[in-house]
Structure 1
Amino acid sequence: MTNTTLEPHILVSMTYVSRANPDMSAEEFSAILQQAQENNTVNAITGMLIFNNNYFLQTIEGSRAQINHLLDALIADQRHYDLQLIETRELRCREWSRWAMNYASPTKENAALYLKYSTTVNFNPYLLSAESVRGLMSELSQ
């Protein structure tokens, strides 16, 4: 991915959900997370990722050009499938400016949050609205 952060672009946010390839190991996920953090730092992309071995739920923010480049790469990535956009929107300012990629994992301790934002305590991001995703991510990041 080329670094186009010096070009003027509108700041945007994109949220998507996808299913993890069933063959993905914990080591492979750790490598993905580390690589994402490194690439995002270089490309001025920030965001939040929730992963539970079955689903990826991610919000990324940056220049429109960078987010579009990243979307192309995500669509081509064989480590996940059934990618669906939940929301894209323009931003006045970043919501995840402290993190190249903040990460949270669903646990028994935070199951009540899933019930707060969905109809079940089981994490299934395909059932969440864009507004629910924003609330859930905000609370998990605290």
Structure 2
Amino acid sequence: MTLERLLYISESRLGEAEVNSSVAQIVADAQIRNAALELTGALLFTGTYFAQILEGPTESIEQLMSSIKDDPRHANIIIVDRSPIEMRRFPDWKMAYHGPSEFVSRHVVRLLHSPPRSEQRRATEWLTELAHEFSVGPLPIRNLNRS
């Protein structure tokens, strides 16, 4: 089975009043769906953007991305990186999630502005590493208000 890692960024269409419940529902649904599709990964949310790392079989990633493209909670989806992998970075997480971060936001926005390929690769690796660090400890769903 061929495994891939995909990183995409999308703009959130969630209203401020629905952020907490909607992101919690996204994570809960993803954990169930990803298990069925043999996908692992992590979700980063900045309050404005989602950045998600998916790992798994090519066909499963295709199926999930098709669903995400039809999801009204996402807009302007950009696939930042897609590459074959030999082993998963998130083998124990059907969907790791830590909470919103302004620090992460700066790096996500940088990827949206078409950086040179070498800088894009570094930023992709950095976001993947950051998501992995978040996934090491317990991951409570935090208050997502943008205040």
If the TM-score is normalised by the length of the shorter chain, which range does it land in? 0.7 to 0.9
Q: CA deviation at 1:60?
A: 0.6
How many residues are paired up?
123
Residue in 2 that maps onto 1:5? none
Name the Cα RMSD after superposition.
1.9
Amino acid at match of 1:12: E
Q: Decide which of 76, 79, 82 is 2:76's aligned counterpart.
A: 82
Q: Which runs of no fewer than 5 residues in structure 1 stay unpaired?
A: 1-8, 115-121
| Superposed CA offset, 1:39-85 (max 9, x none) | 11111110011113211011011100000111111111111101111
Q: Distance in 1 between matches of 2:60 and 2:101?
A: 32
Q: Which runs of no fewer than 5 residues in structure 2 stay unpaired?
A: 112-122, 137-147
CA contact 1:16–1:58 (8 Å) conserved in 2: yes
Alignment of 1:32-111 (within 5 A): 32-107=26-101, 111=103
| Higher helix proportion (structure 1 or 2) | 2
Residue in 2 that maps onto 1:135? 129
Residue in 1 that maps onto 2:141? none
Residue in 2 that maps onto 1:125? 108
Q: CA deviation at 1:124?
A: 5.0
CA contact 2:4–2:56 (8 Å) conserved in 1: yes
In the superposition, the TM-score normalised over structure 1's length comes to: 0.77
Residue in 2 that maps onto 1:6? none
CA contact 1:106–1:123 (8 Å) conserved in 2: no
Amino acid at match of 1:86: V
